[in-house]
Amino acid sequence: DAKTTQPPSMDCAEGRAANLPCNHSTISGNEYVYWYRQIHSQGPQYIIHGLKNNETNEMASLIITEDRKSSTLILPHATLRDTAVYYCIGGSNYKLTFGKGTLLTVNP
């Protein structure tokens, strides 16, 4: 699995876009980038994943750089309920290796 690096914490104002960066410079060609989040005292929640192309779903957008060495998860209109630890994971199979993630705090 690719090693990923994320900032330990970030703040965002409610209603604004939250942009969470992730570096995965060692990612190989067949490894996907997955994003999960964990709201306090709950199980992790799948957000989105991508390989090369940018992806969007009802929760978020994932922007992957052309060289695939980094990506950004975008929550377009953050709410207080988006306060959570966000995990960026690089992998090519069903095994997920969780790092420490980014604690995103959305402030009113």
Partner 1 sequence: SAVISQKPSRDICQRGTSLTIQCQVDSQVTMMFWYRQQPGQSLTLIATANQGSEATYESGFVIDKFPISRPNLTFSTLTVSNMSPEDSSIYLCSAAGRGRGTYEQYFGPGTRLTVT
Q: Which residues bind partner 1 (CB under 8 A)?
A: 32, 41-46, 49, 51, 87, 92-101
Under 8 Å between Cβ of 102 and 10: yes
Q: How many CB atoms lie within 10 A of CB 16?
A: 13
Under 8 Å between Cβ of 20 and 65: no
Q: Smallest distance from the beta carbon of 65 to partner 1, in angstroms?
A: 19
Q: Smallest distance from the beta carbon of 14 to partner 1, in angstroms?
A: 26
When the beta carbons of 9 and 98 are compared against partner 1, the nearer one is 98
In a 13 Å sphere around the CA of 41, the CA atoms on its Cβ side amount to: 0
When the beta carbons of 65 and 97 are compared against partner 1, the nearer one is 97
When the beta carbons of 35 and 78 are compared against partner 1, the nearer one is 35
